[in-house]
Amino acid sequence: MNQNLSIVQLVLHASFLVQGVLLLLVIISVASWAIMFSKRRSFRRMKTLNEAFERDFWSGATLNDLYATAAKNAQVSGPMERIFASGMREYQKLRERRIQDAATLLDGARRAMRASFQREIDMAESHLSFLASVGSVSPYVGLFGTVWGIMHAFVGLAGLQQVTLASVAPGIAEALVTTAVGLFAAIPAVVAYNSFARELDRLGIHQETFIEEFSNILQRNLGVQQYPQNAMPAGY
């Protein structure tokens, strides 16, 4: 490719609208990559914290000891630990109100955990809609720049007496750059969105399983034997 058809020269000689489209696509691409790296670190951290809490939960510590630790580490705890803390908080509030009905206690804890679970899922899927939008819209934005660039190129050829491939190629090449940049922004965003969506599904299933397991523990403790509030084992 000669100097006149280098990528830099094509961008510099493109129309202002095409340059604006290219700048927009570059900004979108940088933002989507920043979100990808941030979400990857976030999902890795959530997985690590959830696994650490599960080890503690099934280690034989009492529920109240686990709850005290969760309350103390509320700012750095993982999603599963916060869900557990929500259930225990509601359970203890109901016990403080002298409610002895096992079904009411269990239902209150479950509703609190489900609400916390939904908040955690909403937090985990934040910014994923941006990646989905980038993946679906960026090619069309690039195509818009391409169509406009080709129109601009042909309008510029209207005054020429003789049109050759050499006179048409630079203008069309300038326009096609926007399509390439649009695909460059869209493809990684689509791949990342699908990957994060699978991670989110696995995270949700894992946390829902924990809610059911914890609910079963509460149900056994409430239905089989009324343990003192400060001596209820997690793995009973």
Cα separations in angstroms, 49 against 54, 191, 226: 9, 25, 31
Average pLDDT over residues 7-32: 82
Query: Model-level pTM?
Result: 0.79
Burial of 125 (0-12, 13-18, 19+ CB in 10 A): middle
Angle between helices 16-57 and 165-224 (to 10 degrees): 20
* 118-121 LR contacts (CB < 8 Å, sep 24+): 120/79, 120/82, 120/83, 120/207, 121/200, 121/203, 121/204, 121/207
Does residue 167 sit in helix, strand or coil?
helix
Single-letter residue type at 16: F
Q: Which of 51, 75, 88, 85 is nearest to 203 (CA)?
A: 51
Is residue 6's pLDDT more than 80? no
**Residue 3: which pLDDT band, with cuts at 50, 70 and 90?**
very low
Average pLDDT over residues 83-91: 93
Q: Where do we find the tokens 């391409």?
A: 146
Any residues with CB less than 8 A from the CB of 131 and at least 6 apart, and which?
Answer: 32, 35, 36, 189, 190, 192, 193, 196
Single-letter residue type at 192: A
Q: How far apart are CA 123 and CA 203, in angstroms?
A: 12
- End-to-end Cα distance, the chain: 73
Please state the length of the chain.
236
Burial of 132 (0-12, 13-18, 19+ CB in 10 A): middle
Q: How far apart are CA 139 and CA 121, in angstroms?
A: 29
How much of the chain, in percent, has pLDDT values that exceed 90?
Answer: 49
| More confidently predicted of 226 and 158 | 158
> pLDDT value at position 220?
84
Is residue 5's pLDDT more than 70? no
Q: How far apart are CA 67 and CA 214, in angstroms?
A: 13
Q: How far apart are CA 76 and CA 58, in angstroms?
A: 20
Average pLDDT over residues 99-117: 90
